[in-house]
A and B are shown apart, each in its own frame.
Chain A
Amino acid sequence: MNKLKLIKIGLNSRLAYLCGKTAINVKASGFMKEAMLYFLAETHAAYRGERPVFWCSTFVPPELIYALGGVPFMPEVAAGFSATLGFADEIIAVGESNWLNSDLCSIHRCGVGLTLQDLMPEPDYIIAASHLCDGAKKYLQKISMFYDCPFFLLDTPYDINNADWLAEQIKKLVKEINCQKVDFASVFSYSNRAYNYHLQMNEIRKSSPSIISGERIMNLVPMNFMSFGSKAGVNFYRKLVAELKKRQSANYSIVNREKYRLFWLHLKPYYPQQVFTTLRNMGAVISFEEYSQLYWQPLDYRTPYLSLAHKMINHFGWGPLARQLKGIYKIIDEYDIDGVIGFSHRGCRQSSGRMDMIKKNLLSQQIPFLNLDGDLIDSRNYREGQLRTRLQAFIELLAGKQGAGVC
């Protein structure tokens, strides 16, 4: 029996979830345990249809789904997991064989492949936002036809002054879904509590040396995308803060001698790779990453639709470049950053499209920048030697700037 068949059986088996839960309770602890239990519970709920399953593009606020009593399921996150589990490449090839050309984002090609391989939970609703990238809304609309399920589009304005237009769309969507109870008050309360813990985490991480690596936080980025608005999200961020405080008082450092504090833009490759080990070996640490920015304000249940609209529109990658740059400089300053690495995901017109402009701006201020090309989930073009050479050259540049030798 091949790996995909086994995964399919596992995803639909009550016994597999029970075994998984027992293993997590025995083996894991702290924030990792909370994250793993959250994903297990939500995956189980989605595959067994315990609550209405809402597929959404990544920047549809999960608070909306929780308020509607649903399970948020983000195929883009599923694509990331498939890379981590080592079967994304063959799934992407399935998407490509279905007339999706290889210039399109691999995450979306993978989403289509996972659907065609029947590895996804069947959606009750699909919600896509025109937020950030063109591909997400398109492929999700196509998938809604495949499943013959209702599709909702949130046409997201670029200008915050038009937030009321998006708020109206969200309100209309809620009305059309017509669920019996829409609980914004408690969901927003969970979201804001998680937000406050996240804020604390960001404060603690300003300390030097770095006490948690950006790589680890980026591995947990699905919690950022999906868990806000759930009780599990609060527990996760609470435990994470507790762990960081413990590390801080124990003078913990993730490398023996931290030489370079780096800021990572966009996300990281989710298949096995040596990027972060290579950096660590040279005393370089990802001290902060773009996706840990809290770009929104705590949500207000008295104006729920506008509050959610503001959260969506204020995303750092949406709206003016000047706003994104302002956020980058703030982090460089507050986290005492020595250099910036921007990961240019192939096929990503929104993020990698801006990378050169960000690079030019930072270099004009003498801030070292490395534009690292690659793919978040498709390992077929991963070239370790080439990548290592580029990272080494970048660290040499940082060393030259600091007037110190390379490790």
Chain B
Amino acid sequence: MSNSIYLNCSYLPPELFVAAGLKPVRLWPEQIGMAGQDLIPADICPYTRAVLSKLYDNNDSKSTNKRAVIANSCDGMRRLYDIISDNSFLLEVPIKSGVDEVNYYYKQLLGLLAFLHIDYDSNYREKLRRVITEYNKQRGLLKKIMLTGTSDLLLAGIKIYSNHSQGNLEEVSAKIRKSNNIFKSPRILLSSSCLLDGQIVDLIERNNLQLAAIDSCLGERAFNLDINVDKDGDVLKLLAKSYLQKTACPRSMEPGKRLKEINRLVKSRNIDGIIYFIPKFCDQAGYDFKYLKDWAKQVKIPVLNLEGEYNSGKSGQLNTRIAAFSESLIM
């Protein structure tokens, strides 16, 4: 069996697997294949269907030998787990991040290690500390790229970070050049539960908007944490706490914490407008948007709501709407 293990959620610590000699691959599928169309109803979100296709190698075979760890994050993921449960582990990730929840999450991570036949001994703990340190460096580089680089560099960086493609983050970071943005474009915060194939990013930039923050599970929420491994204590507990208490996602039931983070991004990155992308049939994003919209109205930040599937970047309708939003911000 391959040592690759597939992960669906930014709350799952890749460090845990690397320390055990496994290769964690963040699931970032770029299309829905046959399995996703055949086995999951059309009104389940496209990400779920694409993930299933990816695990089935985009063919319509009736089984997969790929191992996956699926966070119990939404109905779609539970339906995915219904299909792939023979090879997979469903990890309970609490929807709040208090002390009790951290302790519970810690217990779940121990259960995951047991499922993977990993002994949580001193040898593994030491390896885990080293891996976390390495991941901290990678996250630091990604933050630098996010703040000073371009979106194509960022996407390349995230793909490397998530083992989705080969490469070296330092080399990507070295490609950062001074911005040649002569005209001051409106600065955009792109928010979503999941950006699917990421094409929406290109569409935004093609419309003379500057992407200044990506609040998405496949964006900044994946690397917006720094874990202090110098602290004494149980390193797995530290990992559980850091991941559970990182930037909240639309699934979280802590809207105050989530809006605080959005507010921080808006202020620290001088955001002029927010584009919120809802993957079709994503209930988490559907309700999250309502919170964000109400808040944005209060603080008078323009918001554009977009909904889409894979290949949204090719949609003329979305292009027109983003162009109109861009014009309204410039005016």
Contact = CB atoms under 8 A, between A and B. Distances in A.
B291 A168 contact: no
Contacts of A103: 43, 280-281, 286
Interface string A177-204: 0000000000000000000000000000
Contacts of B101: 155
Contact of B284 (A98, A101, A105, A138): A138
Most chain A CB neighbours (cut-off 10 Å) among B44, B83, B287: B287
Given A134-B75, A138-B283, A158-B92, A101 B253 contact: no
Contacts of A142: 287, 290-291
B287 A135 contact: yes
B79 A135 contact: no
B96 A153 contact: yes
Contact of A165 (B76, B104, B286): B104
A118 B95 CA distance: 30
B96 A155 contact: yes
Contacts of B94: 155
B82 interface: yes
Contact of A346 (B43, B251, B290, B293): B43
B43 A99 contact: no
B42 to A, nearest CB: 10
Interface in A328-352: 344, 346-347, 349-350, 352
Interface in A89-135: 98-101, 103-105, 130, 133-135
Contacts of A100: 286-287, 290
B114 to A, nearest CB: 12
Interface string B66-92: 000000101110110011010000101
B41 A352 contact: yes
A6 B125 CA distance: 67
Interface residues of A, number: 39
A148 to B, nearest CB: 14
Which residue, of B90, B94, B283, has the highest number of chain A Cβ atoms within 10 A? B283
B100 interface: yes
Given A153-B95, A153-B96, A99 B79 contact: no
Contacts, number: 101
A322 to B, nearest CB: 8
A321 interface: yes
Given A137-B253, A168-B100, A349 B284 contact: no
B184 to A, nearest CB: 31
A101 B308 CA distance: 13
Contacts of A52: none
Contacts of B291: 142
B40 A158 contact: no
A100 B291 CA distance: 11
Interface in A145-169: 153, 155, 157-159, 162, 165, 168-169
Contacts of A162: 92, 104
A321 B82 contact: yes
Contact of B90 (A158, A165, A168): A158
B31 to A, nearest CB: 21
Contacts of A354: 79, 82
Interface in B1-58: 39-41, 43-44
B74 A134 contact: yes
Contacts of A104: 283, 286-287
17 contacts: A98-B290, A99-B290, A100-B287, A101-B307, A133-B283, A138-B284, A139-B287, A155-B95, A158-B72, A165-B104, A172-B100, A320-B82, A346-B43, A349-B44, A349-B75, A353-B44, A357-B39
Interface of A: 98-101, 103-105, 130, 133-135, 137-139, 141-142, 153, 155, 157-159, 162, 165, 168-169, 172, 320-321, 344, 346-347, 349-350, 352-357
5 A-B pairs closest in CB distance: A349-B75, A138-B287, A321-B82, A353-B79, A134-B283
